[in-house]
Structure 1
Amino acid sequence: MRILVLNPNTTASMTASIRALAEESARAGTEILATEPLWGPESIEGHFEGALSAVAVLDRLATLEEPYDALVMAGFGEPGREAAQELLDVPVFDIAESAAQMAMMLGHSYAVVTTLDRAVPQIRDRLLTAGLLQRCASVRGTGLGVLELEEDADRTVEAILTQARAAVDEDRAEVVCLGCGGMAGLRERVEAELGVPVVDGVAAAVAFAEAVVGLGLTTGKGRSFAPPRPKTVTAWPLSRHLRPNG
């Protein structure tokens, strides 16, 4: 089984961290292919960058030649998941929905700890659209930007713990989800200090992908995620037109 893990931003070091966690989480015999878009924002912290990233991710999917059995989209609540489900024949897993689904199997309520406060409404919107918001006790921001997560691991863990403790003590969350792909690899440290289950969306999505592919299932194509209708899309895929040699 081969799983494609796609970092929605263009920061290669973050792709490497996400790849390492995915490989660590995968079963023996599962191969992880990890990549990022060929163009787009270095991090995603708002609707504008999210919209750009969604197109860049779809562009990467349209031009990637390696075969794979499932896709894990490693942006927490970023747009474009539904479009990828239309574009691809393989099952698609978003790390925000995967984390929330797994968290609800572990406790009655869960919280999400993410990056900047401006990301909170976007994550809540994603969970609402997915039907997962009802059991979400809170979504809390650490105040750290996406790229700041990699600068100082100790500072990042402490910032996550501050908000996670508040989610547990004040919001009565029973499980905490790490709300950014850039937090990959921090779950064990946070869980050891927090004392409640902590879910990393990348690991959860890889596990769900293995289960779904193992059962021989994929996205339903009968209605909502039917393939795009054949038509001319000018200059698509965009990356082919950006290359010097066409």
Structure 2
Amino acid sequence: MRIAVTNCNTTPAMTEQIVRGARSAAGPGTLITGHTPDWGPESAEGWLDSYLSAAAVLDLLRRLDGPVDAVVMAGFGEHGREGARELLDVPVVDITEAAAHLACLLGRRFGVVTTLDRTTGQIQDSLHTAGVGQNCAAVVGTGLSVLDLDEDSDRTTSAFVAAGRRAMAAGAEVLVLGCAGMTGLERGVSAALGTPVVDGVGAAVRLAESLVSLGLTTSRVGGYAKPLPKHRTWHPPGAG
């Protein structure tokens, strides 16, 4: 089984980190390939970045090399998953949706701990669109930017634990890592807070494997019907 994992930004080091997390979660025989958009934002933190990222990732997905069995979109709260489901004939699993669905199996309400406060509204909207917003007790920012996450692991963990406590005070029984760049923090934070912590990358990989194994893919009845045939001008290769 081959699963393509797409970063939502143009930072290769983050793609490498996401791929490490995806491979550690994948079952035997699953090949994980990592993909970085060749244009778009270096980190996605806000509406503008998210829409740019969505277009760049869709451009990347239409040009994937070789066949894949499923796609994991590793942008937490970023746009594009619905377009990718129209575009591709294989299952598309978004880490936001995957993490939330698994969290709903572990407790009545979950909380998301993310990067900057400015992204919380966007994540809330994404959860609402996915049909799991009503189970979210809180989306809490750590005050760290996406590119800050790797600079000091102790600071990142401390910030996550503090934000996690705030989410739990708001009623969360399960926590979700609200950024693909947080992959790897789940065990330490879970131990510190005494509650389950779900990593979206691992959740998405496992759900993608399940869909492929069950022979299931996106419905073409209604909202995810194939795009209408028409001329579309994509971002020219090499353009700034």
Indicate the TM-score class for this superposition, using the shorter chain for normalisation: over 0.9
Q: What per-residue deviation string (whole Å, max 9, x for no partner) do you get for residues 206-233 of structure 1?
A: 0100111100000001211111111111
Q: Distance in 1 between matches of 2:96 and 2:121?
A: 13
Q: Distance in 2 between matches of 1:230 and 1:194?
A: 51
Partner of 1:4: 4
Structure 2: gaps spanning 5 or more residues: none
The offset of 1:241, in angstroms, is: 6.0
Q: Residue type matched to 2:213 in 1?
A: G
Percent of paired sites with the same residue = 55
Q: Distance in 2 between matches of 1:172 and 1:55?
A: 35
Q: Distance in 1 between matches of 2:132 and 2:97?
A: 8
Q: What per-residue deviation string (whole Å, max 9, x for no partner) do you get for residues 37-68 of structure 1?
A: 01111000111111111110011111122211
Partner of 1:227: 226
Q: Distance in 1 between matches of 2:239 and 2:41?
A: 16
Structure 1: gaps spanning 5 or more residues: none
Partner of 1:84: 84
* Pair 1:32 & 2:32 matched: yes
Partner of 2:237: 240
Q: Distance in 2 between matches of 1:64 and 1:209?
A: 17
Partner of 1:210: 209
Q: Residue type matched to 1:31 in 2?
A: L
Q: What per-residue deviation string (whole Å, max 9, x for no partner) do you get for residues 165-186 of structure 1?
A: 1212x11211000000010111
CA contact 1:59–1:239 (8 Å) conserved in 2:
no
Q: Distance in 2 between matches of 1:72 and 1:179?
A: 15
Query: 1:96-245 to 2 correspondence within 5 Å?
Result: 96-168=96-168, 170-234=169-233, 236=234, 238-240=235-237, 242=239
CA RMSD of aligned residues (A): 1.1
Q: Distance in 1 between matches of 2:59 and 2:135?
A: 34
Q: Residue type matched to 2:72 in 1?
A: V
Secondary structure in 2 matching 1:185: coil
Q: Residue type matched to 2:192 in 1?
A: E
Q: Distance in 1 between matches of 2:118 and 2:151?
A: 20
Secondary structure in 2 matching 1:41: coil
Secondary structure in 1 matching 2:111: strand
Q: What per-residue deviation string (whole Å, max 9, x for no partner) do you get for residues 128-165 of structure 1?
A: 11110111110000010010011111100100000101
Q: Distance in 2 between matches of 1:22 and 1:158?
A: 24
TM-score of the aligned structures, taking structure 1 as reference length: 0.95
TM-score of the aligned structures, taking structure 2 as reference length: 0.98
Q: Distance in 1 between matches of 2:195 and 2:221?
A: 40
Q: Distance in 2 between matches of 1:240 and 1:197?
A: 43
Secondary structure in 1 matching 2:96: helix
Q: Residue type matched to 2:81 in 1?
A: R
Runs of 4+ in 1 over 4 A off after TM superposition: none
Secondary structure in 2 matching 1:65: coil
CA contact 1:58–1:84 (8 Å) conserved in 2:
yes
* Pair 1:59 & 2:56 matched: no
Secondary structure in 2 matching 1:165: helix
